Amino acid sequence: MSDIITKAVEALSEKIDGFSAGVAKFVIEGEGAIMVDADGVRAADDAADVTLTADLDTFQGMMEGDVNPTAAFMQGKLSIDGDMGLAMQLGSALS
């Protein structure tokens, strides 16, 4: 597991303490994937109800609060595949 994914898991764990609404996956382009579900946050690339994909800069900006997930989606910096309602719940948890 890369240092970037390890740090991303830590950052997401601080923002989201379990996510009981479903299973979400964050894909950081060129780095790997992170799963978020009722069990917590972990590095993995499993099946998910919704997959959010972004580059490293966009992901870091969302974690630091500098990038609004909705704005990133509208600007094409964040792509969403799957349950849009679940993605919106996750976006609220990140804000």
Per residue, the 3-state secondary structure of 50-82, as one string, reads EEEEECHHHHHHHHHCCCCHHHHHHCCCEEEEE
Contact between 50 and 26 (Cβ < 8 Å): no
Is 56's pLDDT higher than 90? yes
The model's pTM is 0.90
> 34: part of which helix (H) or strand (E)?
strand 32-37
- Domains of the chain with CATH codes: 3-94 (3.30.1050.10)
Using pLDDT thresholds of 50, 70 and 90, give the confidence band for residue 1.
low
**Cα–Cα distances in angstroms (integers) from residue 84 to residues 6, 8, 11, 52, 74, in the given order:** 26, 22, 23, 10, 13
Q: What is the pLDDT of residue 94?
A: 75
3-state SS class at 25: strand
Q: What is the pLDDT of residue 90?
A: 85
Is 21's pLDDT higher than 90? no
